[in-house]
Amino acid sequence: MRIAIASDHAAIDLKAALAEWLRDAGHDVADLGPDSSASVDYPDYGYKLAAAIADGSAERGIALCGSGIGISIAVNRNPAARCALVSEPLSATLAREHNDANVIAMGARLIGIEMAKACITAFLGTEFGGDRHQRRVDKLTAPQV
Question: Coil, strand, or helix at residue 29?
Answer: strand
**Residue whose C-alpha is closest to residue 78's, from 144, 2, 7, 141:** 141
Rounded CA-CA distance 118/125 in Å is: 11
Identify the active-site residue in 9, 27, 83, 98: 98
**Is position 65 annotated as part of the catalytic site?**
yes
User: How far apart (Å, rounded) are the C-alpha atoms in residues 67 and 106?
Assistant: 7
Neighbours of 80 (CB within 10 A): 15
- In the set 65, 83, 119, 133, the catalytic residue is 65
Q: Is 9 a catalytic residue?
A: no
DSSP E strands in the chain: the ranges are 2-7, 28-31, 60-65, 83-85, 103-107
Enzyme catalytic residues: 65, 98
